[in-house]
Structure 1
Amino acid sequence: MTDDDTEVPGLVRELVTLSRRFRANAERLHPDLSFVDYSLLSELSERDGARAGDLVGLYGLNKSTISRQVTALERAGLLVREPVPGNRRVQLLRPSDRGRELLARADARMYREVDARTAGWSPEEVRALRTLLARYNAAASAVAEDT
């Protein structure tokens, strides 16, 4: 381990704790939204829709897993499929009105949770954490590239 690597085990522990806490919080955001539902609806809302194949690549899951999740969201009335103009074989997935409503409520709860955890932090500290997490999330995974 180099001097820079001595912090990596502690960082990994903190990332695991963050992931576990985020998942636990997301599970209680709304009784009708699981963590996976919340994640998919958030992504579809942020992108203003996406194809199922886009989700396969984004989440690194196989087609059948995404298909099951999308079908469940559609059956629950949280997602709609819309044909892409000019290519009716391709469908764009978007949150339904009900999906957007539940997502908005879940987001509000999540924002309150994060706001409570960062109470007393300066805006610069919150911005720094957001910037570093965005940088971390944007970095390519060397582990995934090695396999």
Structure 2
Amino acid sequence: MPDPTPDAPPDTARDGRMSYAIFQLARAHRAHAAAMLRALNLHPGQELLLMQLFDHDHRTQADLLDHVGLDHSTVSKSLRRMQEAGLLTREPAPHDRRVMVVHLTDAGRALREPVAEMWRTLEEISVRDLSADQVEQFTAWARTVEKSLRDHSRQAPAGTPAE
């Protein structure tokens, strides 16, 4: 028998409705963003690295890693792909040859406005049915939830359930 309310969370998520809604929202948002990024010949996450470099070019890989919130292997793989695509270069730092410094190329810098436009469009699509006050409230709530999760992650080993 079909589920009469397809948007309802599964029974096992009944006590985690907000978490389930966040998961569904993040999945839908990421899928839409990924389609938009494909039009720019980018993979998800690469635009986050580019945005950091647009603001401050000539960053170390470690600095980028700290600022984008992605894991080391994802950043390394993304930077390698972006270098192969001609968007950036990586060179050893003069002070320490083990440290890699990332530089945008002209092709990478040329993506600044297309990436900004993509994010503007994604924002317009995402908030089209919300008032300006609702957008502000949602943003504040999302930051509060994110902070709570980060604080918990710092206090407890990974995988530790809340008490």
TM-score (norm. length: structure 2): 0.65
Q: In the aligned structure 2, how far is the partner of 1:74 from the partner of 1:94? A: 10
Q: In the aligned structure 2, how far is the partner of 1:124 from the partner of 1:33? A: 32
Q: Give 1:127's aligned residue.
A: 136
Q: Give 2:152's aligned residue.
A: 142
Matched, 1:10 2:17: yes
- CA offsets per residue over residues 23-55 of structure 1, 9 Å max, x none? 212222224101132232234334545322234
Structure number with the higher helix fraction is 1
- The structure with the larger Rg is 2
Moved more, 43-52 or 127-136: 43-52
Q: In the aligned structure 2, how far is the partner of 1:65 from the partner of 1:117? A: 26
Out of 84, 87, 96, the position equivalent to 2:95 is 87
Asked if 2 retains the 8 angstrom alpha-carbon contact of 1:78 and 1:98, the reply is yes
DSSP-derived class of the 1:80 partner: strand
- CA offsets per residue over residues 71-96 of structure 1, 9 Å max, x none? 21111111233665x62533332443
TM-score (norm. length: structure 1): 0.71
Matched, 1:20 2:31: no
Which ranges in structure 2 are unaligned for 5 or more consecutive residues?
A: 1-12, 159-163
Change (3 A) 1:116 1:69: closer
Matched, 1:78 2:101: no
Q: Which amino acid aligns with 1:142?
A: H
Matched, 1:54 2:32: no
Deviation of 1:117 after TM superposition, in Å, equals 3.0
Q: What percent identity do the matched residue pairs reach?
A: 21
Which ranges in structure 1 are unaligned for 5 or more consecutive residues?
A: 1-5
Q: In the aligned structure 2, how far is the partner of 1:102 from the partner of 1:36? A: 14
Change (3 A) 1:54 1:36: same
Q: Give 1:37's aligned residue.
A: 46
Q: Which has the higher contact order (CA 8 A, sep 6+)?
A: 1
Q: Which amino acid aligns with 2:135?
A: V
Deviation of 1:8 after TM superposition, in Å, equals 6.3
Q: In the aligned structure 1, how far is the partner of 2:20 from the partner of 2:55? A: 29
Q: In the aligned structure 2, how far is the partner of 1:61 from the partner of 1:44? A: 17
